């Protein structure tokens, strides 16, 4: 069993007692840090950075050198699986990710296979192994993947979308084709996350970024059931320790009870739901992660402190089961000093809730 000097994050996810509310930030290794920008310039482009083991490790560790965070998250991208399926991922300046060969028919779905995590995706596993070594047990490492629905939106739309017309057209006119794709993606995500766990990830998270664009019925059929399949297929213990699983659906506040029923350990919350309300609804079933609006980091430091107080008070004095985070990724133009203030205030103010 690997000795962890700070395992507050893992204990909170498993609803075990902790001395303070652990904190990490989505996209904590990213463009708001000048050192990240320098490393990315060295890599040449985003995917070259993801594929370079040493540089991916370097940017994963950068925020931990600056801030007293309670977890590291693997630096990678949710589109590694579709990229490894041969769809021709590239990044258009100002436009985000694009695919040269989007999925348009059942024939396209039939053509794609499940990528080998230690083959086409070995660069991700190599990064996990190196990060674990370099962390030296200071804090746990989080592995992650996109959800099948979210990956499918990019694969069918050919990139980012606002209206999701292509995938919804497939969903309503050829549901069997979409289910076939989602099933393949769920199998791929299970293999991918289990390989990350075997390589050293101590907790995993599934990002369902676009689940919130679905109706309640379609969310159950096209997103949630595939995340439940992933939860069922994951390695839940490794290296003598439980491996907690967090599910996060952006704009998914109306479905918290259903997400909690999948058997996951924790729910990620965005900022559109009050944490007190979320806790009242899911009770002691799962831990909660979240959920300050990332734009709050633009505010004066006193206002950030006020918001941290409000969220801690909303979760309440139970001593465990809360991981503090933003409700989505940190914005690229946030002042790192404000991020540091946020993290320090969570550490300082949360101790009162863990007596």
Tokens standing for 219? 């969310």
Residues 6+ apart with CB under 8 A from 232: 263
**328 in a known ligand binding site:** yes
205 touches 230 (CB < 8 A)? no
Residues in the chain: 355
60-89 pLDDT, tens digit each: 999 999 999 999 999 999 999 999 999 999
Number of separate helices (H) and strands (E) present in the chain: 16, 11
> What's the CA angle centered on 222, arms 220 and 224, to 5 degrees?
45
**CA-based nearest residue to 47, from 85, 96, 8, 4:** 96
Domains of the chain plus CATH, in order, are 8-353 (3.20.20.210)
Three-state secondary structure along 186-224?
A: HHHHHHHHHHHHHHCCCEEEEEECCHHHCCHHHHHHHHH
**65 in a known ligand binding site:** no
Distance in angstroms (rounded) separating the CA atoms of residues 194 and 188: 10
**209 in a known ligand binding site:** yes
List per-block mean pLDDT (blocks of 10 residues) for the chain, which spans 355 residues.
88 96 97 97 93 98 98 97 95 85 98 97 98 98 98 97 97 98 98 98 98 98 98 96 98 98 98 97 94 98 98 90 98 98 98 91
Distance in angstroms (rounded) separating the CA atoms of residues 157 and 61: 33
So what's the pLDDT on residue 1? Answer: 55
**183 in a known ligand binding site:** no
Global pTM reads 0.97
Query: What residues are labeled active site?
Result: 27, 31, 40, 77, 154
DSSP three-state, residue 109: helix
Backbone angles phi, psi at 269, to 5 degrees: -115, 135
**29 in a known ligand binding site:** yes
> What's the CA angle centered on 285, arms 282 and 290, to 5 degrees?
60
Q: Give the distance, in angstroms, between the CA of residue 166 and the centroid of all CA atoms in the same chain.
A: 25
Whether omega for the bond prior to residue 291 falls within 30 degrees of 0, making it cis, is yes
So what's the pLDDT on residue 244? Answer: 98
**16 in a known ligand binding site:** no
Tokens standing for 96? 């985000």
**CA-based nearest residue to 339, from 136, 62, 49:** 62
CA distances from 34 to 38, 337, 350 (A): 6, 12, 29
Where are the strands (E) in 256-299, listed by range? 266-268, 287-289
286-313 pLDDT, tens digit each: 999 999 999 999 999 999 999 999 999 9
């Amino acid at each position: 069993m690997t000795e962890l000097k700070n395992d507050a994050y893992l204990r909170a996810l498993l609803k075990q007692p902790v001395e303070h509310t652990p904190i990490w930030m989505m996209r904590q290794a990213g463009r708001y840090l000048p050192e990240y920008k320098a490393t990315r310039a060295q890599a040449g482009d985003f995917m070259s950075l993801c594929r370079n083991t040493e540089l991916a490790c370097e940017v994963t560790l950068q925020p931990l050198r600056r801030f007293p965070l309670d977890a590291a998250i693997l630096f990678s991208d949710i589109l590694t699986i579709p990229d490894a399926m041969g769809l021709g991922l590239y990044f258009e300046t100002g436009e985000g990710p694009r695919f040269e060969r989007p999925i348009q028919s059942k024939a396209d779905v039939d053509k794609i296979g499940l990528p080998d995590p230690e083959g086409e995706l070995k660069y991700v596993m190599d990064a996990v192994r190196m990060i674990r070594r370099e962390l030296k047990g200071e804090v746990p490492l989080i592995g992650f993947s996109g959800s099948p629905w979210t990956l499918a939106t990019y694969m069918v739309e050919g990139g980012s979308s606002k209206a999701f017309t292509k995938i919804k057209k497939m969903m309503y006119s050829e549901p069997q084709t979409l289910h076939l794709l989602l099933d393949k993606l769920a199998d791929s995500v299970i293999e991918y996350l289990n390989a990350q766990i075997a390589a050293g990830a101590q907790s995993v998270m599934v990002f369902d970024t676009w689940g919130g664009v679905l109706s309640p019925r379609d969310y159950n059929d096209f997103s949630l059931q595939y995340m439940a399949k992933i939860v069922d297929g994951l390695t839940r213990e490794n290296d003598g320790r439980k491996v907690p699983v967090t599910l996060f659906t952006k704009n998914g506040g109306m479905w918290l009870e259903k997400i909690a029923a999948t058997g996951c350990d924790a729910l990620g919350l965005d900022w559109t739901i009050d944490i007190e309300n979320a806790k009242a609804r899911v009770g002691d079933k799962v831990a909660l992660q979240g959920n300050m609006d990332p734009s709050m980091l633009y505010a004066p430091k006193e206002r950030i402190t006020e918001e941290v107080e409000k969220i801690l008070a909303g979760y309440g004095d139970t001593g465990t089961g809360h991981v503090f985070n933003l409700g989505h990724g940190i914005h690229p133009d946030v002042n790192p000093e404000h991020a540091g203030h946020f993290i320090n205030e969570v550490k300082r103010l949360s101790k009162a809730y863990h007596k």
